Amino acid sequence: MPEFDTLIYERPEPGIARIWLNRPEARNAQDTHLLYELNDAFDAAMADDGVKVVILAAKGPHFSAGHDLREGDHRAAGQAHKRVGTWNADNWDGAEAYYCREKEIYEGFCRRWRDLAKPTIASVQGKVIAGGLMLVWPFDFVIASEDATFQDNTLYMGIPGVEYFAHAWELGIRKAKEFLMTGQPITAAEAQAAGMVNRVVSPETLESETLAFARLIADKPSFALKLAKDAINAAFHAQGFENVQRAAFNAHHLAHTHYRLHQDGSFMDRAFAPGIPAKPKSDR
């Protein structure tokens, strides 16, 4: 099995791969290393002909607390990975490198994961906050425990939503506006009613119910699964998701730049508005 620092990769049953986010001590906050490892883990599952469906689950009480707010040095993190493809990853004096880094590890990975060639299932408990949504929304199915809540609190930071801007597709236009502009969490039951979650199960049965759901997928022919997924994902394109995503990502970075300019003029590593504490709480 592939080995990772921040993930556990396993094959619990024939046809099924399961990736665990494994930073419970940081509530599965996503640092750069975790995101690149997660991308590599999905690659491993795609390359394995024995895998027909992939589960993304999380260790600990909460699925994900979003971006790692302690990873202050984006410059070092970006340069350490240096996969920022066709963009200039070194120009940190303006907006370019910051934009390009987020384009790759947030928007880019999410769009890629949404279109992975095999079906994917997010298995979710506890809190899913801001960037945590980007480890749920790109995947084909969401099985949520009754205690799961979902929240985009980025407006508190002066940012108009997480980088993967699927709110309207996940919740519908009116609920998406409420979700985004009030910044309040919604429950698993509310998320299911809005169409964002497939099934809500008890915390005790989340793992077994997710596996049972995965079996329903894994007993189908892999090529038919691939074709079905691609056909339904074509709806994103037909509905203009790509254009909305581009516009929203650019607005996201306009907001980053706005707040950086409004602080003390030092550019990088001050992504968040004054008043957001080093360890923000979701109710702020």
Ligand X SMILES: C/C=C/C(=O)SCCNC(=O)CCNC(=O)[C@H](O)C(C)(C)COP(=O)(O)OP(=O)(O)OC[C@H]1O[C@@H](n2cnc3c(N)ncnc32)[C@H](O)[C@@H]1OP(=O)(O)O
Whose CB is nearest to ligand X? 66
Within 218-277, the residues that bind ligand X by CB under 6 A are none
Is 131 a binding residue for ligand X by CB under 6 A? The answer is yes
Report the residue number, 119 or 131, with the smaller CB distance to ligand X. Answer: 131
- Interaction pattern, residues 72-101, with ligand X; x per rule: CB under 6 A: ------------------------------
- Interaction pattern, residues 8-27, with ligand X; x per rule: CB under 6 A: ------------------xx
Question: 3-state DSSP call for residue 145?
Answer: strand
We find the least distance from the C-beta atom of residue 284 to ligand X, in angstroms, to be 7
Report the residue number, 18 or 27, with the smaller CB distance to ligand X. Answer: 27
Region near ligand X per CB under 6 A, out of 40-48, 67-75, 141-149, 185-193: 67-75
Instruction: List Cβ neighbours of 202 (8 Å cut-off, separation of 6 or more).
Output: 145, 146
Q: How many CA atoms lie within 13 A of 226 on its CB side?
A: 10
Cα(252)–Cα(271) distance, rounded to whole angstroms? 11
Structure tokens at 243: 């254009």
Options 29, 41, 57, 217; binder of ligand X; rule CB under 6 A: 29
Instruction: List Cβ neighbours of 109 (8 Å cut-off, separation of 6 or more).
Output: 35, 38, 39, 134
Report the residue number, 71 or 209, with the smaller CB distance to ligand X. Answer: 71
Strand-by-strand arrangement of the 141-145 sheet:
7-13, 15-21, 51-58, 120-124, 141-145, 199-201
Is 122 a binding residue for ligand X by CB under 6 A? The answer is no
Structure tokens at 68: 């790692």
